[in-house]
Amino acid sequence: MDPHQIAQALERLRGHPAAALLASVRAYAVGGAVRDALRGEELTELDVVIDGDLDPLIERLGVTHRIEVADHHTRFGTATVALDGERIDLTRSRRERYEHPGALPEVSPAPIRADLGRRDFTVNAMAVPLSGPAELLDPYDGLADLDARRIRVLHRGSFRDDPTRAIRAARYSARLRMDLDPETAALVEDADLSTVSTDRVEAEVRRTAREQSSPWAFALLDGWGVMALGQGRLALISSVSQIAGERSWVSDAERADAIAIAVTGGPALDAAVELGAASPETPSKAVALGAPHGRGLLLLALAAGASWVDPYLNDWSRVRLAIGGQDLMDAGIPEGPAVGAGLRSALVARLDGELGDDPEEQLEVALEAARGAI
């Protein structure tokens, strides 16, 4: 990367609105923001390390600016705030110590260069001061690795300390089209996710599932031996991604839900596969199958072969009666289960084409079923 590109990246970071707001403290743009600025990408969020205590800074900003604190963890010295509409992740510069593999770190204050040493990969271990002399702090040659399109850990115990770094390695590798360097590729075998809480693993899985490149990321994790997904689940993940790109009804969140279910497995995946094998004979039976489940799981069922999911979500799930429970009670049906039984019977007939839009016809069918249920 030539000096002009580096200078442009530094200018963009130091020109961020947060730079002026944080001018009174020693603040540094770090991690992904620096990496992405050097790659010439748009800055969507800013990670800032503060060489000093966060609490007085947050209190002062709350007085001088419109600030919303979305998250604040005193133990780890972190906070997420919205400053004048800009989302910023703030962290107290610190060092970390792990009592045992997979443990949450014990943290203590430390200068910025020590803070960079606790990070996951060299391309995320660069910093730019937001005030004072413009410079790129790059103690681990992250810029060289960025140029070489290489993911490299900072030390040999990295994946033992925090096995979820392997999931992040796959996410970055897939998104940035970067390869593990040979030593990192050998060390990733140390990533034992069983030493980490299920919540932490699932959080990283969900972050990865949200990315458009997630099928490739999970294929990497399977190939590295970090997650034993197998060809069946990898095929489901790939199919979900393809279907999501072809259906207007699929949101990014639903796509991520479906992929996360495929990765984590368990009863939800079993339910999706079972739905994928089902062949409901009528629209009403399809509604009965689909109604208890969220759209993410149904998307996964569609990937597993449930062709009925498309018409269910686009048409059948939207069918409504022109009558309601009050109409049945006005006609003499006592309030209670019989009212529901009557409405359900009319809806089934409506879904299956045996009943039209006419309210009087719908009420007649509903009353007959309701009287039979009393």
pLDDT digits (tens, 9 = 90+) for 134-150: 999 999 999 999 999 99
What are the residue boundaries of the structural domains of the chain, listed by start?
Answer: 3-142, 149-226, 229-316, 325-373
pLDDT at 120 over 90: yes
Q: Which residue has better confidence, 64 or 199?
A: 199
Residue 72 has a pLDDT of: 52
pLDDT digits (tens, 9 = 90+) for 227-283: 999 999 999 999 999 999 999 889 999 999 999 999 999 999 999 999 999 999 999
pLDDT digits (tens, 9 = 90+) for 162-207: 999 999 999 999 999 999 999 999 999 889 999 999 999 999 999 9
Contacts 24+ apart (CB under 8 A), 200-208: 200/164, 201/164, 201/167, 202/260, 202/264, 204/164, 204/167, 204/168, 204/171, 205/167, 205/260, 205/263, 205/264, 206/256, 206/260, 207/171, 208/167, 208/170, 208/171
**Residue 61 has which token pair?**
């900003």
Q: Residue 90 pLDDT more than 80?
A: yes
Helix (H) or strand (E) holding 218: helix 214-224
For residue 69, what pLDDT band results from cuts at 50, 70 and 90?
A: low
The residues, any chain, with a CB within 8 Å of residue 320's CB and separated by 6 or more, are none
Confidence of residue 364 (pLDDT cuts 50, 70, 90): very high
d(CA 53, CA 163) in angstroms, rounded, equals 29
User: According to the model, what pLDDT value does residue 62 have?
Assistant: 63
CATH superfamily, region 3-142: Beta Polymerase, domain 2 (3.30.460.10)
Which residue bears the tokens 């992929």? Answer: 259
Q: Which of 79-83, 219-223, 237-241, 345-349 has the lowest mean pLDDT?
A: 79-83
Q: What is the DSSP string of 251-272?
A: -HHHHHHHHHHHHH-SHHHHHH
CATH number of 149-226: 1.10.110.30
Quote the mean pLDDT of the chain.
91
Residue 101 or 360, more confident: 360
Confidence at residue 71, expressed as pLDDT on a 0 to 100 scale: 56
| pLDDT band, very low/low/confident/very high, at 66 (cuts 50, 70, 90) | low
- The DSSP call for residue 137 is B
Burial 168-205 (b: 16+ CB within 10 A, else e): bbbbbbbebebebbeebeebbebbebeebeeebbeebb
